[in-house]
Amino acid sequence: MILRREQDNFEQACVFVLFDYIAFKFTRFLLLHQKGDSFEQVNVGQGTFENRGGEDIMKVNGCNNGLEELRPGEARRFVQILPDNLHKALIPGERYRLIWQGEEIFMWDWGTKRDWVGKELKSQAARESKLPRLILPASAGVEFTVKEESEPWPGRAEYEAEFGFSAANSREADWLLEQNPPRSPSPISPSQRV
């Protein structure tokens, strides 16, 4: 996901929190399943995200995970993990389109991260004076074909039962990397070094 702040009439930076469970009231992904030449909407229900509490107030310490800053004209690239309800709806070998439908970011304010260190950043619900709405607009989406792992992780079922679907996905990715570690370059002999 690329978040871009257009040039605007405000020269100030803005800070915002981009955690699914804090930033967004609802998950706004639309999953479409390709059927021939057309796409049909997949009913995926509501996604679940780990809720770590403190949703209305963030004490800014300068290193807060999920706290972002954008100046006019700047852009940031983010990688989002899909909610488990979307993962579970996918069928291997089938083609899909995933569309972000847009959402309001509820925790933001003017200033830089440095300006906010030691202060409390509040959600719109917790603020006394309201700010203009900050919208993360909809996207055209991305199309993909689902592929099933050729060798499933042997401990997946037990791990998922204990820690949940998303944690099992992360652990399985680690396991796959252990099975096929990246190759290291061959050592360079002293005579070849510059």
What are the average pLDDT values for consecutive 10-residue runs of the chain, which has 194 residues? 74 82 57 94 67 70 87 80 78 92 86 94 87 84 86 85 85 84 74 68
Which pLDDT does position 81 carry in this prediction? 66
Which pLDDT does position 23 carry in this prediction? 45
Which pLDDT does position 15 carry in this prediction? 92
Residues in the chain: 194
Which pLDDT does position 1 carry in this prediction? 67
The tokens describing 174, both together, are 């680690």
Q: Name the pTM for this structure.
A: 0.64
Cα–Cα nearest to 32, from 139, 171, 157: 139
